[in-house]
Structure 1
Amino acid sequence: MKRLNTLMIFLAIVTLIPLSAFSQEVMTTGGRRMPYVWIDKDTHHEIRRLTRREGNSRSFYFHNNPFIMGENGKGDRMVFYGQDKFGWQIFTVNLSTFEIVKLTEDPFPKSGEIVGRKSHDIYFQERDSIFSVNADTRKITLIYVLPHGSFASITCLNSDETLLGGISTPMVEGFPFGHRSFRRPNFEQIFQIERKRPHTIFTINLKTHELTNVYTHTAWLNHLQFSPTDPSLMLFCHEGIWQDVNRIWTINIDTKKARLMYKRTMPMEIAGHEWFSPDGQTVWFDLQQPRGVTFYVGGMNVKTNKLTKYRLTRNEWSVHYTISPDEKLFAGDGGDTNSVAHAKDGKWIYLFTPEGNHLKAERLVNMKYDNYHLEPNVHFSPDGKWIIFRANFEGFESVYEVKVEKS
């Protein structure tokens, strides 16, 4: 009888343990097909594949919001691009159930990573036409047809969801349309061409459908973003060879006044891959003083111009950084040996905790089987408990999340 009671107690305890606790293998990440869930043997953090579908899938660029919030913190969704027989389409994935919903299905190439947090409208571009698709109803609406004679693209939506923002350049006969590769050996040549052409920041009013030119400059304008809290404030960069430009700028679309956010202070200094903090008060960026030697995450307060710097080691340098929703933690996507840091052991997804004037690093995912041609581009999940990234370490492109808390 005593043995029977002991057995019954054991079985009762076992039934309370989630099934996932028994199914999560401790494994080397990548180099073969992985299960949907596993524990990285080098970091002991849980990794889950979010895009559980056939074909390649890609999450958004690091500073573009991909999330649609559910009610009461439940049912959050992430927008992503997935490849099918027609090309790249727009999908959502439920971050709790992993349910995937396909929102578009046509053969035309798409661009744009723009999500309305309130409306749940997702904005994208096909050639000269701008559309929205609603994540709830799947209804597709034509928003605007861009004028002929220029190469124009939309990139962002302001915080009250009244304006789309984009950049246009005039088309020049014989100009290599579609040249925009950011990898050498073409980049320096492209830079010399682009810096001689006028670039214009514009907005499209979603109610009146009016296009307004905000700012024109012969610098190569790029990386256009709206503030997440101020509907009139934009962040953009002077693209190019980073050590040759003062890259990071803001502009108020009401006053049309542009402002340099960070001025280089020494030869070969670089500052870039800029993004807004969630509260819109700080512009964060990769800062190297000088390039490839000393590494920081820098932040400039948009009101006070106060500079904050957190130092990292060479191996901890990342192509892209991001900050958690509560602004207490950072994450980075590491870099391969060909990146600017030339790190010997830099292919990791990192979690960073500010400590004084430096960042304390924790490795979350070993990315040794990722070739970094597809840069991971990290995002914190809306609840801050996971870091989402894209990778090709299984031999195809997919989107994953790693748990911030160690298993």
Structure 2
Amino acid sequence: MKKQLFALLSIVSLSATAQPTLETGSQKPMPETWIDAATNHTVVRLTNKPGNNASFYFHNNPFVGNKMVFYSTDSLNGRQLYTVDLNTRKLEQVTHQAFAMSGEIIGTKGHNAYYQINDSVFVTNIDTRQTKLVFVFPADFKATITTVNANETLLAGYRSNDAEKEIYRLNPEKHDYFNKIYEARLPRTLFVIDINGKQLKPIFTDSAWLNHVQFSSKDPNLLMFCHEGPWHKVDRIWTIDVRDANKGKVQLMHKRTMDMEIAGHEWFSSDGKIIWFDQQLPRGTNFYVGGVDVKTLEEKKYKLDRNEWSVHFTTSPDQKLFAGDGGDPGQVAKAPDGMWIYLFTPEGDHFKATKLVNMKHHNYKLEPNVHFSPDGKWIIFRANFEGQSEVYAVKI
């Protein structure tokens, strides 16, 4: 038994020492596994296939069991959904669609991936690969799905009008359309689709840019959305109980407290009790991750350094840790040394930061969008420091 244990420990030790220590992104390609020379943390490439591979947006859950769903685009298959087993790194193709598809919506209860092709919503089971048509939008209500609720009975999303679509067409770059959409004050409508009953129900309309639509991670009736626009001009974070939709009752979750305050890039905690968000008091000056209790509206916040500000933040499954994807000097924090993947540990009223990955060779036009792995031991992100987009995991 002692000999077997010694042999196992020897293999583990050899495997660890065999990993090269390199500056992340200093060569193209990087090996499949390496140790970041600046942080001494192990980095693994999860998407070893041709094409551009991208993990989900930061608040869209990509996990089913120990598999992670991601998008991949290559010349043979176009843009399709795949899974990677986080233990074995085995890749499997989930969808085989002939047309452009959108939607990063995973139902963990049923192991389903929901997505949209033109006016039609489909579901593909991740285990069986069986695909079904869920819903076809009527001609007078063309809309976009963005989220599924916790018990997988409702989809939700938003509907914009043709005038808004024309602004996008004439101003395809974000810096051109962003203020124009906000200032136009065109109506948007939130809706739900009953998955089993195939029924569409509009639930709220406002002359505002309703966006970032997310169901609670636990409460199947609680829907969060934002008033999109320049963050220092909007009280952004709102919720609505879809059962009270006919009453048009919405709840502002955080009201700005000073001129130029911003609060945004909101997401639900894993237990659904807190909505977390990037908070700046005022914009570009003092940086926090804020949180508001969805029932009591009680707030708390953790301060962080300018260099530690991140495009997106997230929380670990056990809610004890946070992570951030950093940012380049051209972004709101104007951080001189902010290009890192970070781990944050709350200490009193502030974060203690640990640098995990040096991102100096990454172009932040591709947002890294961090996720904790289901076991909480890795942080998963996307990056382009090898030239194309790939998905990586760094060991905490």
TM range (shorter): over 0.9
Query: CA offsets per residue over residues 289-330 of structure 1, 9 Å max, x none?
Result: 000000000000111111111001100000100000000000
| Residue 108 of structure 2 is aligned to residue 113 of structure 1 | no
Residue in structure 1 matching 2:202, options 203, 213, 231: 213
* In the alignment, structure 1 residue 45 sits paired with structure 2 residue 41: yes
What SS is found at the alignment partner of 1:234?
Answer: strand
Give 3-state SS (helix, strand or coil) of 1:374's partner. coil
Summarize the alignment of residues 67-82 of structure 1 with structure 2, pairs less than 5 Å apart.
67-69=63-65, 76-82=66-72
Aligned-residue CA RMSD (Å): 1.9
Q: Is the 8 A contact 2:164 2:181 kept in 1?
A: no
Q: Which residue of 2 aligns with 1:357?
A: 349
**Secondary structure of 1:389's aligned partner:** strand
1:30 is matched by which residue type in structure 2? G
Shift of 1:10: 13
Q: Does 1:93 align with 2:88?
A: no
Which residue number corresponds to residue 270 of structure 2?
A: 278
Residue matched to 1:396? 388
CA distance in 2, matches of 1:173, 1:337: 31
Q: Which of the two has higher C-alpha Rg?
A: 1
Deviations, residues 369-404 of structure 1 (Å, cap 9, x unaligned):
001011000000000000000000111100000001
Please point out which of 51, 61, 65 is paired with 1:65: 61
* Matching residue within 227, 230, 235 for 1:241: 230
TM superposition shift of 1:149: 3.8
Q: Is the 8 A contact 2:191 2:203 kept in 1?
A: yes
Q: Does 1:29 align with 2:24?
A: yes
**Larger deviation, residues 184-193 vs 174-183:** 174-183
Partners of 1:106 and 1:9 in 2: how far apart?
49
Taking a change above 3 Å as real, the CA distance of residues 361 and 10 of structure 1, as seen in their structure-2 partners, is closer
Report how far residue 183 of structure 1 moved.
Answer: 3.1
Structure 1 residue 140 displacement after superposition: 1.2
Structure 2 CA distance for aligned equivalents of residues 334 and 181 of structure 1: 26
Tell me: CA distance 1:14–1:385, structure 2 relative to 1, closer, same or farther (3 Å): closer
Contact 1:188 1:240 in 2 (8 A): yes
SS in 2 for 1:17: helix
Look up the match of 1:306: 298
Go from structure 1 to structure 2 and tell me whether the alpha carbon gap of 1:207 and 1:13 turns closer, same or farther (over 3 Å shift): closer
Check whether the contact 1:150–1:169 (CA below 8 A) recurs between aligned residues.
no
**CA contact 1:379–1:388 (8 Å) conserved in 2:** yes
> Contact conserved, 1:150 with 1:171, CA < 8 A, in 2?
no
- Summarize the alignment of residues 144-223 of structure 1 with structure 2, pairs less than 5 Å apart: 144-172=135-163, 175-177=166-168, 183-193=174-184, 195=185, 197-223=186-212
Q: Distance in 2 between matches of 1:203 and 1:34?
A: 44
Identify, as 1 or 2, the structure richer in helix.
2
* In 1, Cα distance between equivalents of 2:195 and 2:266: 26
Q: CA deviation at 1:171?
A: 2.2
Q: Report if aligned partners of 1:149, 1:170 keep a CA contact under 8 Å in 2.
A: no
Structure 2 distance, partners of 1:306, 1:55, is: 46
Distance 1:352 1:181, change over 3 A: farther
Partner secondary structure for residue 186 of structure 1: helix
Structure 2 residue 316 is matched with structure 1 residue 319? no
Contact 1:31 1:395 in 2 (8 A): no
**Is the aligned partner of 1:292 residue 2:288?**
no
In 1, distance between residues paired with 2:125 and 2:68?
A: 13
Q: 2:323 aligns with which of 309, 318, 331?
A: 331
Unaligned runs of 5+ in 2: none
Name stretches of at least 5 consecutive residues in structure 1 with no aligned partner: 1-7, 70-75
Change (3 A) 1:9 1:353: closer
Structure 1 residues 342, 139: closer, same or farther in 2, change over 3 A?
same
CA contact (8 A) 1:284 1:297 kept: yes
CA distance in 2 between partners of 1:15 and 1:174 (Å): 61
- Among 369, 383, 392, the alignment partner of 1:377 is 369
Output the CA distance in 1 between the equivalents of 2:281 and 2:194: 40
Shift of residue 170 of structure 1?
Answer: 2.3
Matched AA of 1:170: N
Note closer, same or farther for the CA distance 1:242–1:9 as it changes in structure 2 (3 Å cut).
closer
Aligned CA distance change for structure 1 residues 14 and 307 (closer, same or farther; 3 Å): closer
1:83 to 70, 73, 80: 73
Distance 1:89 1:42 in 2: 35
Residue in 1 aligned with 2:116? 125
Q: Is the 8 A contact 2:181 2:209 kept in 1?
A: no
Q: Which amino acid aligns with 1:333?
A: D
Q: Percent identity?
A: 54
Kindly indicate whether the alpha-carbon contact (under 8 Å) linking 2:167 and 2:181 is maintained by their aligned counterparts in 1. no
Question: How far apart are the structure 2 equivalents of 1:66 and 1:385?
Answer: 16
Assess, with a 3 A threshold, how the Cα gap between structure 1 residues 201 and 24 changes in structure 2: closer, same or farther.
same
Looking at structure 2, the residues matched to 281 and 333 of structure 1 have their Cα atoms a distance apart, in angstroms, of 24
CA distance in 2, matches of 1:106, 1:157: 21
**Displacement after TM superposition at 1:190 (Å):** 2.6
What's the offset of the Cα at 1:22?
3.3
Amino acid at match of 1:209: K
Partner of 1:4: none
TM-score (norm 1): 0.92
User: Does residue 250 in structure 1 map to residue 239 in structure 2?
Assistant: yes
